[in-house]
Amino acid sequence: MFLRSLTVKNLRSIGELSIDFDDTTGSTRKQTLLLGQNGTGKSSLLKAIALITAGSNALGELLGHTNDWIRNGADFCEIQALFVTKEGEERPVGLRIDRDASLGQILGSNFESLNFLERALQYTERNYFVVGYGASRRLNGQELFWNMGAGVYRHGRSNNVATLFNAEAQLNSLTSWAIDLDYRLPNGFPLIQEALDDFLPHVQFHGIDKDKKQLTFETPDGIVPLSQLSDGYQNMTAWIGDLLYRISNTFEDYQSPLAARGLLLIDEVDLHIHPVWQRHLLDFIRNKLPNFQIIATTHSPLTAQQAEEGELFSLQRGEENRVELVPFVGSPQKLLLHQLLMTNAFGLTTDESVQVETIKQNYKELRDKPSRSAVEKRQLNDLAEQISNLPTPEYINSLVSAQQMDFLKKLESELKQ
């Protein structure tokens, strides 16, 4: 099962929006990245997908206060999705939430629109397999920890996406997953090695210390347990370990569980990750989960740069402050970082610091005055000297270097006068 299209109406900050997940060949796109300023609805779209794939048994654990999903001033919100099966058959699913409706009323009014999904889940709960991670995901304090559906999210399908909806939802630990897999399966250790190969930059999986019940890693400082890796590494292992657990536990009868099909939703996919590793993160996920469809949000140009043509979208506020979905034109992979930052997707007008931008703006304002006092002349000369001492950017194929060079040449000419 893959997601082919999604349409939402009156969903929180979003009035109406549609996104297509097909690539240029008509096949379902394996990766989609969403950009956008805070408050434009990126997280809401991920949650909408999680809601519409939850099934009636799990939906009530995710909905919470139903009115919270409905845009201010509207009487309802609506989510429509089109899925495609492995055999290429399309499956429409819909969910409408009316203001002040109870869970029973919502399930009753959506009985027909959720029918395709319900029939698939009655056959087996792992159909339409979805895992999701919110921006507040974090490492559990216990290195050995199983989240067995305790608390609000008792149903497996709601538990699989719990951190999207609740910052306090707990994750299964990487250590627990690895030790359990090594114990249960004859080929458990090779599966662990396969999953953790190239897992972290400059760190290699070493083995399992069964006496101490620890995973050990080879680092520049020697062999150390997972608990002694940096906070950045540990935060990365938090959701990756949980993801590996959920996949291997759901598809334990597969010879290669990581080859299973599914949908992965990740909010702020590059959270807590060093820029060096951000550049390789999506490649790592795609290589480890070749048959998963990935839909993720990001604020990072390093992550956005990994998108191929047709994979990057931004949520922006247009006329009357309405949220609109804007596809990125061209291939982000072919742009330099500063070029990408100054596209419409990120909305920056300069790659300079705020301080340098202010200096240049003050210079232009003083320079363009018809007359200047003695103090202003000294200020202008001081600003001109500061600008002349700035390093000259040397960009290859730069979108802005010509403008910057023209400005510097003009400044140099004025200083000589």
- List the beta strands (DSSP E) in 303-383: 312-317, 323-327
DSSP 42-95: HHHHHHHHHHHTS-HHHHHHHH-SGGGGBPTT-SEEEEEEEEE-TTS-EEEEEE
Per-residue pLDDT, 350: 86
Per-residue pLDDT, 150: 47
Task: Please give the Cα distance from 245 to 252 (Å, whole number).
Answer: 10
Q: pLDDT (tens digit, 9 = 90+) per residue, 199-211?
A: 777 788 899 998 9
- pLDDT above 70 (res 37): yes
C-alpha 14: how far from chain center = 18
- pLDDT above 90 (res 17): yes
Q: pLDDT (tens digit, 9 = 90+) per residue, 134-176?
A: 998 865 655 554 454 445 788 889 999 999 999 888 888 888 8
Look at 236 and 8; give whichever has higher pLDDT: 8
Is residue 320 within 8 Å of residue 312, measured between CB atoms?
no
pTM for the whole structure: 0.87
In the numeric block, which tokens belong to residue 274? 């060093």
Residues 116-142, mean pLDDT to the nearest whole number: 81
Residues 369-373, mean pLDDT to the nearest whole number: 93
Judging by DSSP bridges, how do beta strands 262-266 and 130-133 pair with one another?
Answer: parallel
Per-residue pLDDT, 405: 52
| Domains of the chain with CATH codes | 2-341 (3.40.50.300), 354-416 (no CATH)
Count other Cβ atoms within 10 Å, centred on residue 45: 28
Task: Please give the Cα distance from 140 to 208 (Å, whole number).
Answer: 19
Q: What are phi and psi of 100, to 5 degrees?
A: 70, 10
In the numeric block, which tokens belong to residue 239? 């959701």
| Average pLDDT score, the chain | 88
Confidence of residue 415 (pLDDT cuts 50, 70, 90): low
Confidence of residue 126 (pLDDT cuts 50, 70, 90): confident
Tell me the one-letter amino acid at 6.
L
Per-residue pLDDT, 256: 84
Confidence of residue 99 (pLDDT cuts 50, 70, 90): very high
